Structure 1
Amino acid sequence: LVAVDGAAKMATFREKDASGADVEIVRDFDFLHVTPPQVAADAVRDSPLADAAGWIDVDQATLRHKKYANVFALGDACNAPNAKTAAAARKQAPIVAENLLAAMAGAPAPFVYDGYGSCPLTVERGKIVLAEFGYGGKLLPTFPKWLNDGVRPSGLAWMLKAKILPWVYWNLMFRGHEWFAAPSNRNPAA
């Protein structure tokens, strides 16, 4: 993405054509959700733990390093092909903890990560789409549909994100009291 004309609802992208030359493509939009480029920290990129793109090179299911069996990674540092969100990290943390304990006991990883992430997309004041998804864009809802549809704007989802989740984060999650994050996807190889 190189330019956005909000009034005209046009976005300009720079891509490579078949010959490798830069080409600008202009597309119209009704709704444009743009994320900044994500890169790993220098300490990660410059370490032997990193893959060619600079992320810690883990198995996307177990979150265990592909080369160093005593290393696990999660969140913004690892190369799992998921959204780099706090929601993703909170789902990854208990999986890494359980899999690390199993590794220390010489057992196979008992749990797998399904790529869960969540992203609130503000579509108008007072309404968001609180998208919850996993690898491949598969919908992975954790809330009842009446509270959060996951694909349609909702005032209830706005209230959840704006008023309820911040309190839950600071008073429960941040202090180790969590729900919906306990590992549930058993590793069939374990």
Structure 2
Amino acid sequence: MTTHFVFDQKAESQSVQAEWSIELNERLPEIVKLWESIGPALVEAVAATTKKPFSAPETVHLTLTDQPSNSFFGVTVNMRYALRSFTAKPVPMRYKIDTVFHEALHGFVSRNTPKMSPLLAQHSSQPICVRNHLHLLALQKASLLHTKDPAALEQVVALDSQLPSGCYKRAWSLLNATPSTYLQYIEELSQ
């Protein structure tokens, strides 16, 4: 299945600067090409790792507003911090492709995490954001390792750990407590 990347300039707020929109439109072919080269292997890795079907998102909405990346109404990825016109130190576009994958995983993880997860019970004192990302980040890690891309995993962990809320940093620290901790979460997703 082909994933369509959509940037609806007309739907963007007035706070979005013209040069950001111009740069994102110019870089759309790069984004599509990068997803096409990486995305299918990541999608296949989820199915191979969990033995459950998983498919790529049909549409990915790109935004330049101050709305964070999310999966509430389909996959939406905020692209501001990947643009030179927005920041002097943009994140690599590869990280934004990994963000597409991350957001696409939310529904799968929600459907496949056991309702009475013993692993989540062990972390009941953690903030909900941390708990909501333990299985997801474990699956993202397993998928990146399955595709033999430890450098991408290292980049995701490093950049996620810089995000303001701190919940990804905490979730990654729990998952990386031992070299095999993340596999316990994969086992739960595979049940």
Q: Give TM-score, length-normalised by structure 1.
A: 0.26
Relative contact order, higher structure (CA 8 A, sep 6+): 2
Q: Which is strand-richer, 1 or 2? A: 1
Q: Which is helix-richer, 1 or 2? A: 2
Larger radius of gyration: 1
